[in-house]
Structure 1
Amino acid sequence: MSENERVARAAEPLSKILRTITSDRLADPTPCADFDVRALLNHLLHWGPSLIGAARKGEIAPGPEVDLTTGDWAAALDTQLTDLAAAWGRPDAWQGVTRMGGPMELPAPLVGGMVVGELIVHGWDLARAVGTTVHWDDDLLRETYNDTAATAEQGRELGIYGPEIPIDTGAPLLDRILGLTGRNPAWTCSSAL
């Protein structure tokens, strides 16, 4: 799999999940302890422009918080995912250095891997919150696991990830990615209540 396919392959299942979220689910908890469904959707809408800007090597400010009770937020987020996939679908997006809404330059492949991880992990968060299942192909998950394992400790130091949850090395790759980010793969909406 080429790098420039990764974001599109991570975004496609998330796009399908968006179509299953109804307004009565916005206050539901998610496995991401800081966010209910509404806050997690706003998180994705907020940071999407910066992630698109990172692919284009230009700075784009994060988006504003969106009132999810009005307008078609699902269509807006779906369009943003399409734009994100197109931006990271360009081979030059994965070359050199870039920024994610701040002054620090990072290697573009590192940022691209973080974008893929963000889509997969938060896609799983949303799927779990609304009681659906989601799947990504093993090639994508293998690369995402390697990227996440390489940066997980730094993510914990920055407060992006919670404490690692030990997952058996024979467990599915998605479960192992989730454990690295501090998520329990067995989480259900009812276990959060």
Structure 2
Amino acid sequence: MSEDDMAPSTPAERHREIAAVFADRVRGTTDWDVPAPVEGWDARGVVEHLTTWYPAFLAGSGVDFPPQPSAADDPVAAWDGHTAAVQALLDDPAVADAPIDNPHIGSMTLAQATDMIYTTDVFLHTWDLARATGQDDRMDPQVCAGLVEGMAGVEDAMRSSGQYGPRVPVPDDADPQTRLLGFIGRDPSWTPPAG
């Protein structure tokens, strides 16, 4: 196996890779007002979600996050500034390895928390933005399979958080991406409404 075939092994590497794919979809978006697969959201709302909840999470854990442009004004600038700031946190061992306490996830390092809840969220919402805007919406099948397996053990907690819709039934022999989308409450066959 070559180095290029190896999966990213650290939270910083995983974020860099997953955020770069999302950034490509951000730059490929030509209409920010198109509906997204999450009910009530549009393409701009996908970026707004990712660029607002994570800084709020960090603030609740006592970590400062530098102010960034608003996705309401400029989704591209908002994403570029936000993701660079996240990467800077993860690339700084003193920050990444610092313990944080959060009432929802307990005690862990900032890097572990970011990897578990934020980077995963970016990965999932990449499909939302890509599907809404007609871009490549294929997801890494190994990551999809791993997420489905990992989430299955905490499904009750996930559903009770209000962050995930009810499961969407998919065929038993569905590929990992379809299984993941159905598990998190997305309709894998969703397309934007016509007109």
Question: What TM-score comes out, normalization by structure 2 length?
Answer: 0.74
Q: Who is 1:45 aligned against?
A: 51
Instruction: Using the TM superposition, give the Cα deviation of residue 156 of structure 1 relative to its aligned residue in structure 2, in angstroms.
Output: 1.2
Q: Percent identity?
A: 27
RMSD: 3.3
Letter in 2 for 1:170: D
Gaps of 5+ in 2: 1-6
Aligned to 2:36, which of 14, 30, 41? Answer: 30
**Larger CA deviation: 12-21 vs 38-47:** 38-47
Q: Who is 2:18 aligned against?
A: 10
Letter in 2 for 1:160: Q
Q: How does 1:162-177 map to 2 (within 5 A)?
A: 162-177=165-180
Letter in 2 for 1:174: Q
Gaps of 5+ in 1: none
Instruction: Using the TM superposition, give the Cα deviation of residue 45 of structure 1 relative to its aligned residue in structure 2, in angstroms.
Output: 1.7
Instruction: Using the TM superposition, give the Cα deviation of residue 89 of structure 1 relative to its aligned residue in structure 2, in angstroms.
Output: 5.2
Structure 1 CA distance for aligned equivalents of residues 135 and 55 of structure 2: 27
Check conservation: 2:33, 2:44, Cα contact below 8 A: yes
Cα displacement string for residues 27-69 of structure 1 (whole angstroms, at most 9, x for unaligned residues): 2211111422222221122124246x48xx743479799363x
Q: Who is 1:20 aligned against?
A: 28
Q: Who is 1:182 aligned against?
A: 185
Runs of 4+ deviating beyond 4 Å: 61-65, 89-97, 102-105
Structure 2 CA distance for aligned equivalents of residues 169 and 95 of structure 1: 40
Q: How does 1:33-112 map to 2 (within 5 A)?
A: 33-50=39-56, 53=58, 58-60=62-64, 66=70, 68=72, 70=73, 72-88=74-90, 98-99=100-101, 103-108=103-108, 109=112, 112=115
Distance 1:135-1:145 versus aligned 2 partners, 3 A rule: same
Q: Are 2:119 and 1:116 aligned? A: yes
Question: What TM-score comes out, normalization by structure 1 length?
Answer: 0.75
- Give the aligned length: 183
Higher relative contact order (CA 8 A, sep 6+): 1
